[in-house]
Amino acid sequence: MSGAEPFLFPDWPAPAGVHAAMTLRTGGVSAGPYKSLNPALHVGDDVDAVMRNRKFIRESLALPSEPVWLEQIHSNQAVKAAAALMPPQADASYADAPGVVCVVMTADCLPLLLCSADGRRVAAIHAGWRGLLAGVIGNTVAAMEGAELLVWLGPAIGPGAFEVGAEVRAAFVQKSPAFGEAFRPQADAKWLADIYRLARIELNALGVTNIYGGRFCTVTDADRFYSYRRDTVTGRMATLIWRD
């Protein structure tokens, strides 16, 4: 195991009894481009190494149960987290019972953690631009049943690194002109997109204003974060939330 800090803990005023963490790329046993704390089984890493990494995460964070891993498909699907033989195809999960661990995996896409102000409901969202556009945040907020929410935006590709085509900007602006402020023009009809700003605009439109985080860039911080855009073959970070 590496001696570097393996976790990032959200800086947000979550109520007592709500616990959250994000794994970094250090502290595990994976080798090569997956070095070292990769928890993802779908990226080509050695299965034994991944399972050892998951065991390390579970024990280090004293998780109350095995995280409910998802088969993420860049959709708008949010499911209630529950133990299952096969990971559900979804990009968000939520829970209203103690001891259930919601988790998403990312390597440039935006992980969001949600909790209700009373600490009774928690959720985790994987939001790439496709999921954002499709409404994964809105579907998850709806599943929180009108609770007053706190949201943490975890590390994602930063606004200086996320270049997209004009068709991506056009799709967001067609959904709402407000999204236009999250794009800056570049040469060759390209745009720089601020995924943090896109999420904040969406959350604000849903009436959610208690938003924290959103100050990292996975592409430029290679020591701490995996980045698909930077490396293509790489591991994933896991972002987890649960309640007592």
Handedness of CA 62, 65, 66, 68 (dihedral sign): negative
Alpha helices in the chain (DSSP H): 47-60, 129-134, 136-143, 166-175, 195-205, 228-231
**Peptide bond just before 36 cis, omega within 30 deg:** yes
- Per-residue pLDDT at 2: 42
- Domain boundaries, given as residue ranges, for the chain: 7-157+211-243
The number of angstroms, rounded, from the C-alpha of 92 to the middle of its chain's C-alpha atoms is 9
H or E element, residue 66:
none
Would you write out the chain's pLDDT as a tens digit for each of its 244 residues? Answer: 444 799 999 999 999 999 999 999 999 999 999 999 999 999 999 999 999 999 999 999 999 999 999 999 999 999 999 988 899 999 999 999 999 999 999 999 999 999 999 999 999 999 999 999 999 999 999 999 999 999 999 999 999 999 999 999 999 999 999 999 999 999 889 999 999 999 999 999 999 999 999 999 999 999 999 999 999 999 999 999 999 9
- What residue has token string 């102000």? 117
Architecture of domain 7-157+211-243: 4-Layer Sandwich (3.60)
Is the distance from CB of 52 to CB of 36 less than 8 angstroms?
A: no
Handedness of CA 21, 24, 27, 31 (dihedral sign): positive
Distance from C-alpha of 222 to C-alpha of 7, rounded to nearest angstrom: 15
Distance from C-alpha of 206 to C-alpha of 139, rounded to nearest angstrom: 10
Is the distance from CB of 192 to CB of 224 less than 8 angstroms?
A: no
Q: Where are any strands of DSSP class E within 32-120?
A: 78-80, 92-95, 102-106, 110-116
What does the DSSP 8-state code read for residue 71? B
Tens digits of per-residue pLDDT, 135-182? 999 999 999 999 999 999 999 999 999 999 999 999 999 999 999 999
Length of the chain measured in residues: 244
β-bridge pairing 149-153 and 211-213: parallel
- Per-residue pLDDT at 83: 86
- Per-residue pLDDT at 84: 85
Token pair listed for 107: 């390597």
